[in-house]
Amino acid sequence: MQPFVHRRERLAQQIRERGGGVAVVFTAPEALRNRDSEYPYRWDSYFYYLCGFPEPEAVLVMAVTAEKTESLLFCRDKNPEREIWDGYRFGPTAAAQRFGFDAAHPISELDEKLPGLLADQPAVFFMLGSDLELDARMLRWLGAVRAQARAGVSAPSQAIDIRALLDEMRLVKDADEAAVMRRAAIISAAAHVRAMQRTRAGMREYEVEAELLHEFRRNGSQFPAYGSIVAGGRNACVLHYRENSEELRDGDLLLIDAGCELDGYASDITRTFPVNGRFSAPQRALYDVVLAAQAAAVDTTRPGARFIDPHDAAVRVLTQGMVDCGLIAGSVDGAIESGAYKRFYMHRTSHWLGMDVHDCGEYREPGEPGTGDTRPWRVLRPGMILTVEPGIYVQAAADVPERFHDIGIRIEDDALVTDEGCEILTDGVPKAADDIEALMRS
């Protein structure tokens, strides 16, 4: 539990530098799927980042002064009858010992104890606006403190969104986080290799999805990190295709965007390959353009570069390829300036990756409120993890060469920024066209 204790200490220091106060972080509630059946439980990322505590109905409270920090957990009490039905519960006593808290209390005592913890504190650090019900509870607690004003008790005068602190912490991964994400990437790479080896014309997209899920779970992953995209033929031109139900046809490409979650951390891989194991000439032409664009973006992913630099590098290679293949006319510079390339490449090349597949953290340098997109793009630092995922998506149209109709290609890897450049965590699955064909033949 030492990494979690260390993170709470880092958070406490930031709160102390702002004059102290009380931090309140809820985990996620259980979600009903239908009638009395619930979705598999997944904790809130911010809460788990600080606690490592896996149960629902839990709240972290940190009271921080100049002299000390008190970390408290509110959680479900022991209940032997419910444990028969739902499984083991730590209970407050065991939870405090196991997860390194100063004390733990039953969740039923939260409403009673919180006003006392908030009393005479200068600020409350809370996820403002994330949930209306939780906002209402916080207002009730603050109201209970204000009701004691005649007794000389004061309520916090500031409410600070704790995500502003935690987002910056989570943006740079520590060694423990990087190790988990490296393992998640290995599992996901193995799943993509399995999918390539087993794909055949006539299969349904969901059959390939089943191969991915099998490999995820077989290697200890608890969940997919997001809904897997298994998109054959024209479906690959739908960026967030979800149906995964159509038959795979001989001669089409198959785009798979899928990654597992391991111990709360995501991986994110996309590969595109021919259903029959051999790229056609038009497919290979566009595929090699996307692969070259990714290589240019990876080369730019290094400490000191700006977040936008890999995207700009990828766009230039992609646009040159579009011009060379006849998808767009004119000069490369002109197509970039006018945005003509966006017809076939309409998304960014990267996003942060971590506990959430689109992880927290600003993409521009922190600055004054209201400055928006006038702020410079974020400088990459060792420990940041981002995806690198250029693509080309060509829907059938009268003004598009027919040989490229309904070809969708994306190649995505996960990059850990290092002192020297970047480490590609997901290099366990081939992406060069010749290597993919060789794997599928085997």
Which residue in the list 48, 209, 393, 413 is annotated as catalytic? 393
- Find the catalytic residue in 240, 373, 419, 441: 240
Q: Is 249 a catalytic residue?
A: no
Active site residue 358: yes
CA 341 from chain center: how many Å?
27
Closest CA to 413 of 263, 287, 281, 259: 259
| Angle ∠(67,73,78) on CA atoms, nearest 5 | 150
Please report the sign of the dihedral spanned by the C-alpha atoms of residue 384, residue 218, residue 269, residue 363.
negative
Q: Which of 55, 252, 261, 412 is catalytic?
A: 412
Judge whether 412 counts as a catalytic residue: yes
Nearest of 392, 310, 299 to residue 351 by alpha carbon? 310
Given the residues 82, 249, 358, 381, select the one marked as catalytic: 358
Which one of 55, 261, 268, 309 is the catalytic residue?
268
Q: Is 16 a catalytic residue?
A: no
Find the catalytic residue in 194, 347, 364, 405.
347
Task: Give me the catalytic one of 177, 257, 309, 356.
Answer: 257
Residue 410: active-site member: yes
Please count the residues of the chain. 442
Would you state the structure tokens that stand for residue 318, as one six-digit string?
Answer: 């992609």
Active site residue 8: no
105 counts as catalytic: no
- Catalytic annotation on 214? no
d(CA 2, CA 98): 11
Q: Does the annotation count 389 as an active-site position?
A: yes
Which residues does the annotation mark as catalytic? Answer: 36, 240, 257, 268, 347, 351, 358, 389, 393, 410, 412
